[in-house]
Structure 1
Amino acid sequence: MIRHISSYNTLKIGALCSLLLTGTAWADAPSDYANHCASCHGETRLGGVGPALIPETLKRMRGPRVALVIAEGRTATQMPAFSHELDALQIEELAGWLKSPLETNPEWGETEIMASRTLDEDYNPVDAPVWGSDPMNITLVVETGDHHVSVLDGNTFEVLDRFETPFAVHGGPKFSPDGRFVFIMSRDGWVQKYDIWALQQVGRIRAGVNSRNIAMSGDGKWVAVANYLPNSLTLLSTGDLSVAKVIDVKGKKGNPSRVSAVYQAPPRESFVLALKDVPEIWEVFYGDNPPQSGLGHDFRIEGQFKNPDPFPVRKITTPDYLDDFFFDQSYEYVMGASRDGNGGQVIDLVIGQKVADLDLPGMPHLGSGITWRHGDTTVMATPHLTDGTVSVIDMATWETVKRIKTEGPGFFMRSHENSPYVWADVFFGPNKDAMHVIDKQSLEIVKTLRPAPGKTVAHVEFTKDGRHALVSIWEDDGAVIVYDAQTLEEVRRLPMRKPSGKYNVWNKITFSEGTSH
């Protein structure tokens, strides 16, 4: 049988033969990088036109190995092939060098962040949408296959616009409270502001070097960016993308930490941070009257406590590292997943103490948890990343109501207040083509959909009224499938380039039941 050999593999074989014959190697990775890569990816490997080429970003890249990308390029991007400029040994050495840590942690403070900001000169704000659709029923589809977002009319499913995003979008986009603007973040820390009414980009700014997610303040004034590198939280003004503050993240004992995630807690007028490297959670206040207890640097003016810091930080010690969160409806309680993936904790934000343990084995993905009314109580359900189970928790007692057996570990869950069903994918393992539909009251799987046998089927979003459910075929030649949310029948397929996530304006800004917040 004759097997296909790529041009890179042919090049590699030839170079290896040459090495064996001569006994010498001529690769000089830093020089090759400077000559061929620095113009796009930056002299310090921190990114430019192209993404950062450092271990923190490369280890997260899916698809071909780094060496193969260097040799053959990457389709649907500006990354060219270098197999004609570099031989296979040079490519292998360069790929290995790119995976090595930087000699020093990069400086990326307010000066560097502001220097990266660009505001589009041709952006033309409008007084009303330039399209005639319901502005509250717009759904954005993130297409990671070629780094674009499609703007869908939630009634007709017409594509109103398709715009380019920064490389490797990560985390859900965040909408302004009026639904007009959306903010999108990439793993390289780029934050993009887009005007949905005008169908135009407003600008971009790089808030970090390696970032996890963003959160929108309840008043719509601030966007918080959680960073792995450097260890910081960046606060941006939503109006002009200027830096309001960069907070260095160090625990109570002075130990630096990466920020695993940042979430908004609107009733508390705060952001809540999950920290990767210290057993603490942080609450960063942005309102006019932050609580005074626990801030540690209050002082009294004219008989009242005042705080000179516009974003005071409260640090809460936890019994264990908490990488991911879920909030109750009042935002008083935080449900956090333990580092070892074998359980969880409930932290009361008012008193700053753990009040309960959670029986959640199998590494729960609390960031995708959802809630709904079940009988006379409210329950929370979460998929598990290492176990074929959906756990259902009573939000009043913190007890496990049921573990629903699925066909494999899942990643996303979704429902809607007007739907009797919960949709849960089977993202990992051989049954990745399955989508379970679960009855909210019986907690039984009533149907398993397989719209694309053998392909990854994941992530569900509903239209504003809950009549339709949108499901992704998570492949480069994928699609968004529109289902009737009551009959579970397929209505339409929209071809898309690896549609990883879908986000409805109304559901997100109103914190619709069944939405991950």
Structure 2
Amino acid sequence: MRLIPFALLILCGAVQAAPEVVSLDQAGVLYEQHCQSCHGVNRLGGAGPALLPESLSRIKPDEARAVIHNGRPASQMAAFGDRLSSAQIDGLVSYLYQPAATPPTWSDDDIRASHRILADVAALQSTPQHGADPLNLFVVVEAGNHHVRILDGDRFEELANFQSHFALHGGPKFSPDGRFVYFASRDGWISVYDLHNLTMIAEVRAGLNTRNLAVSNDGRWVLVGNYLPGNLVLLDARDLSLVKHIPAVAADGTQSRVSAVYTAPPRDSFVVALKDVKEAWELSYAGEPDFQPRRIEAADFLDDFSFTPDYRYLLATSRKALGGQVIDLDTGKAVTDIPLPGMPHLGSGIYWKRGGDWVFATPNVSKGLISVLDLQSWKLIKEIPTEGPGFFMRSHLNSPYAWTDVFFGPNNDAVHLIDKQTLEVAHTLRPMPGKNAAHVEFTNDGRYALLSVWDTDGALIVYDAKTLEEVKRIPMNTPSGKYNVGNKIEFAEGTSH
């Protein structure tokens, strides 16, 4: 009998015990077999969302792995844990987070081909058909199951509930009269919904990876900012038909992604931040516009920005200054750097009157503090310590408090209420201990504050804004944001764009 050396036995055992490894090529075949029919050739999306790295940037690989294994409730996403091995699922996840072999494109023809008219506005009623105050409706984005709920902001009862496109992003925007609400999904779908008749009107895919959209103050135009392809897409606000696309190309020819686009009502213009070049753009929509960008040279790259109350200045992020920069829209000049440590989230910053002077406050996404600026001197007035880095900040003209979360870190179940005059934390709430509390929005009159608990078993919690007593708790699956029609169309003090 021939004896096998012990070392060889160990080696054979190791070979036999080696885990299965699925290559990217094999994962590509798995995608074609199991995913392509819903998510499209080249992962561009179809009945299901796009599965490109840009589209998945806010979803961790472990979450993607769980969705493939378990499916997604209340959706067409089936579970594959019974037909794919763990190694195959791991291989698919790795494949989905790899850039496409051929860089994806999205042309004007693609946009037009995706356009769908879902209802004839002319045949619908021009007045609200639900009996609720149209300026005190809330549009609630329920991110956990990709649904939108419409709430009566007086009774806090649901008027409508409908499925949205995957991963709505950037906050919905409204027509100036509050009748229509416009949504942008991360994978480029733009939708318009009629709040008077509680019905979807139209949709179009304006890009492959979209940052946000803005609606002109005259209600004629929708401007969409895209990461992929790097451009702006101008749509007719009535039916989302394509008007033109505007490549995000700097004066020197450098291609860029679009970081953010907002409307500046007193200026009758859109203002655009470009992520990869040191330019801000202003595009007028007054009269019969040609939408040629007015280029404003910035001191640094812009990731996001907020306006001062008079819309003359931009408060914009600045990577170089590790804080922010001030840009004068009238002169087109960068004014100064502003001291904002900790990665300020300027898009969620708010302003209010302290004494007789305007101040601006912003949370910081990497430090537990709120930075408060004097809007005349651009000086830092105070840094208010919090229990962790925050993401959202909100207030109302009729509220003495600025509500801010501590979204990141172990204490993210807390919400601080900052006294707007003393700049001290006056109260700390923990709506559902152990669960992430974030994103407050007020009713149009400021009487109630609605807060989200970002959890699968989360809730929308209604507080009396004066007594801080809980009024109602509505169970929801990760209600990521809620938006009051009146506050948004009035660009009310204390809310965001």
Q: Does residue 1:270 correspond to 2:269, yes or no?
A: yes
Contact 2:188 2:206 in 1 (8 A): yes
**Fraction of identical pairs, as percent:** 55
What SS class does the counterpart of residue 64 from structure 1 fall into?
Answer: helix
Matching residue of 1:411: 391
AA in 1 matched with 2:149: S
Cα distance per residue 1:309-357 (max 9 Å; x no partner): x211112221211111011122111111112572211111111111122
TM-score by length of 2: 0.93
In structure 2, distance between residues paired with 1:215 and 1:165:
18
Matching residue of 1:378: 358
Q: Does residue 1:107 correspond to 2:87, yes or no?
A: no
Matching residue of 1:143: 142
Q: Does residue 1:448 correspond to 2:415, yes or no?
A: no
Matching residue of 1:3: none
Range with bigger deviation, 333-342 or 170-179: 333-342
Matching residue of 1:297: none
Deviation at 1:18, TM superposition (A): 7.1
What SS class does the counterpart of residue 55 from structure 1 fall into?
Answer: coil
In structure 2, distance between residues paired with 1:23 and 1:106:
28
Matching residue of 2:7: none
Cα distance change, pair 162–23 in 1 and its aligned pair in 2 (3 A): closer
Contact 2:20 2:87 in 1 (8 A): no
Structure 2 portions without partners, runs of 5+ = 1-13
Q: Does residue 1:458 correspond to 2:458, yes or no?
A: no
Cα distance change, pair 28–468 in 1 and its aligned pair in 2 (3 A): same
Contact 1:213 1:225 in 2 (8 A): yes
Matching residue of 1:36: 34
Matches within 5 A, 1:62-461: 62=60, 64-121=62-119, 125-288=124-287, 310-339=290-319, 342-461=322-441
Cα distance change, pair 423–82 in 1 and its aligned pair in 2 (3 A): same
Deviation at 1:121, TM superposition (A): 4.8
Cα distance change, pair 311–19 in 1 and its aligned pair in 2 (3 A): farther
Cα distance change, pair 152–255 in 1 and its aligned pair in 2 (3 A): same
Cα distance change, pair 341–134 in 1 and its aligned pair in 2 (3 A): farther
Deviation at 1:192, TM superposition (A): 1.1
Q: Does residue 1:510 correspond to 2:486, yes or no?
A: no
Name the Cα RMSD after superposition: 2.0
Deviation at 1:494, TM superposition (A): 1.1
TM-score by length of 1: 0.90
Deviation at 1:65, TM superposition (A): 3.8
Contact 1:460 1:469 in 2 (8 A): yes
Cα distance change, pair 434–67 in 1 and its aligned pair in 2 (3 A): closer
Cα distance per residue 1:409-467 (max 9 Å; x no partner): 11001111111111111101011011111111111111101111110000000001100
AA in 1 matched with 2:41: E
Cα distance change, pair 87–418 in 1 and its aligned pair in 2 (3 A): same
In structure 2, distance between residues paired with 1:457 and 1:157:
19
In structure 2, distance between residues paired with 1:463 and 1:287:
31
Cα distance change, pair 487–95 in 1 and its aligned pair in 2 (3 A): same
In structure 2, distance between residues paired with 1:220 and 1:87:
52
AA in 2 matched with 1:59: S
In structure 2, distance between residues paired with 1:452 and 1:22:
42
Structure 1 portions without partners, runs of 5+ = 1-15, 291-309
What SS class does the counterpart of residue 254 from structure 1 fall into?
Answer: coil
Matching residue of 1:60: 58
What SS class does the counterpart of residue 66 from structure 1 fall into?
Answer: helix
AA in 2 matched with 1:129: P
Range with bigger deviation, 448-457 or 51-60: 51-60
In structure 1, distance between residues paired with 2:66 and 2:467:
45
Contact 2:448 2:463 in 1 (8 A): yes
In structure 1, distance between residues paired with 2:214 and 2:32:
36
Deviation at 1:106, TM superposition (A): 2.1
Cα distance change, pair 97–22 in 1 and its aligned pair in 2 (3 A): closer
Matches within 5 A, 1:6-45: 20=18, 28-45=26-43
AA in 2 matched with 1:38: Q
Cα distance per residue 1:119-171 (max 9 Å; x no partner): 11587521321111111111111100111111111111111111111111111
AA in 2 matched with 1:99: Y
AA in 2 matched with 1:31: V
AA in 1 matched with 2:314: V
In structure 2, distance between residues paired with 1:64 and 1:22:
19
What SS class does the counterpart of residue 516 from structure 1 fall into?
Answer: coil
Cα distance change, pair 401–395 in 1 and its aligned pair in 2 (3 A): same
AA in 2 matched with 1:411: F
Cα distance change, pair 121–491 in 1 and its aligned pair in 2 (3 A): closer
Deviation at 1:288, TM superposition (A): 2.1
Contact 1:341 1:362 in 2 (8 A): no
Contact 2:139 2:151 in 1 (8 A): yes
AA in 1 matched with 2:404: A
AA in 1 matched with 2:80: F
Range with bigger deviation, 252-261 or 310-319: 310-319
In structure 2, distance between residues paired with 1:212 and 1:471:
24
Contact 2:297 2:334 in 1 (8 A): no
Range with bigger deviation, 471-480 or 117-126: 117-126
Number of residues paired by the alignment?
A: 483
Cα distance change, pair 512–26 in 1 and its aligned pair in 2 (3 A): closer
Matching residue of 1:479: 459
In structure 2, distance between residues paired with 1:18 and 1:185:
50
Contact 1:282 1:315 in 2 (8 A): yes
What SS class does the counterpart of residue 233 from structure 1 fall into?
Answer: strand
Contact 1:27 1:93 in 2 (8 A): no
Contact 1:26 1:90 in 2 (8 A): no
Deviation at 1:24, TM superposition (A): 10
Q: Does residue 1:470 correspond to 2:450, yes or no?
A: yes
